[in-house]
């Protein structure tokens, strides 16, 4: 993993020009590329060129879509010995990478049924298993909107060994397409979960985090939420002004240690 100048064309327009801090991870030693899942969703995957029965990690993208930051995260995990896959569960409702602003992206995201997204991740897991992954050693991690999806998928698939949501909203508008939020499924979480959140994130207030913690505690769910004081939303997004190197480095280390503790690394 190394820092270099990133190509602005590879990133979502609404996210702005990539920062010089954007991490660029090459594909040397990896098999990496696009595939199409049975339901038509495209997905980006990467795996070591050699090895079998690899641990699997599903990556749930930000609202900005399957752009270069998420693909880079996929390659980072592949460099660590995982088969990693990020299905694009938004693209059939619009292209967030080409959307002019955040409101246009939110309009796309609001159309996407959670039930369809859960099925897409089921297919991504099956694809990873077909590429030499061990479906019995699988995890999910998600960022921003994908952090919300990570919580929901952990409730949907309790066979996962680990779940790592990064600053995913815990509560919000309940709609026919998106009827439940992480706070609604807290009692259903059976998968060991590590939530990584920013203390200066206005979209996820401290009282909502505390309410989530309380519901998890009452349910004896194997979940912990770490809050980084002063860190904003998207503090791990190294290509954006929101990036906070110290918090991101600590959270990444915690995430990898958590995966090791659950038998995934």
pLDDT at position 3: 43
Q: How far is CA 71 from CA 24, 94, 185, 186, 260, in A?
A: 10, 19, 28, 29, 22
Digitized pLDDT (tens) for each residue of the chain, 265 residues in all: 444 445 545 565 655 555 667 888 999 999 999 999 999 999 999 999 988 899 999 999 999 989 899 999 999 999 999 999 999 999 999 988 888 888 999 999 999 999 999 999 999 999 999 999 999 999 999 999 999 999 999 999 999 999 999 999 999 999 999 999 999 999 999 999 999 999 999 999 999 999 999 999 999 999 999 999 999 999 999 998 999 999 999 999 999 999 999 988 6
In the set 67, 69, 114, 144, the catalytic residue is 144
pLDDT at position 151: 98
- The angle that helices 145-156 and 114-130 make with each other, rounded to 10 degrees, is 80
Instruction: Respond yes or no: is residue 144 known to be catalytic.
Output: yes
State the Cα torsion 206-208-210-214 to the nearest 10°. 180
Domains and CATH numbers, the chain: 2-261 (3.40.50.1820)
Instruction: Respond yes or no: is residue 163 known to be catalytic.
Output: no
pLDDT at position 9: 52
The pTM assigned to this predicted structure is: 0.93
Instruction: Respond yes or no: is residue 233 known to be catalytic.
Output: yes
How much helix, strand and coil, in percent to the nearest 5, is found in the chain? 35, 25, 45
């Amino acid at each position: 993993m190394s820092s270099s100048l990133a190509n602005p064309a590879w990133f979502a327009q609404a996210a702005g020009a990539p920062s010089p801090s954007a991490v660029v991870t090459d594909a040397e030693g990896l098999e990496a590329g696009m595939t199409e899942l049975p339901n038509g969703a495209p997905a980006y995957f990467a795996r070591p060129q050699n090895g079998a029965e690899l641990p699997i990690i599903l990556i749930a993208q930000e609202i900005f879509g399957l752009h270069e930051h998420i693909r880079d995260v996929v390659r980072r995990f592949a460099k660590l010995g995982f088969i990693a896959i990020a299905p694009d569960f938004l693209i059939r409702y619009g292209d967030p990478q080409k959307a002019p602003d955040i409101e246009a992206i939110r309009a796309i995201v609001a159309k996407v049924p959670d039930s369809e997204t859960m099925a897409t991740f089921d297919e991504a897991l099956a694809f990873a298993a077909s590429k030499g992954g061990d479906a019995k050693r699988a995890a999910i991690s998600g960022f921003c909107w994908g952090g919300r999806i990570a919580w929901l998928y952990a409730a949907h698939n309790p066979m996962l060994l680990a779940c790592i949501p990064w600053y995913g909203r815990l509560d919000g508008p309940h709609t026919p397409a998106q009827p439940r939020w992480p706070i609604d499924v807290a009692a259903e979480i059976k998968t060991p979960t590590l939530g990584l959140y920013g203390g200066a994130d206005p979209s996820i207030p401290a009282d909502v985090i505390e309410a989530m913690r309380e519901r998890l505690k009452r349910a004896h769910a194997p979940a912990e939420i770490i809050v980084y004081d002063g860190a904003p939303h998207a503090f791990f997004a190294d290509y954006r002004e929101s990036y906070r190197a110290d918090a991101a480095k600590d959270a990444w280390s915690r995430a990898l240690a958590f995966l090791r503790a659950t038998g995934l690394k």
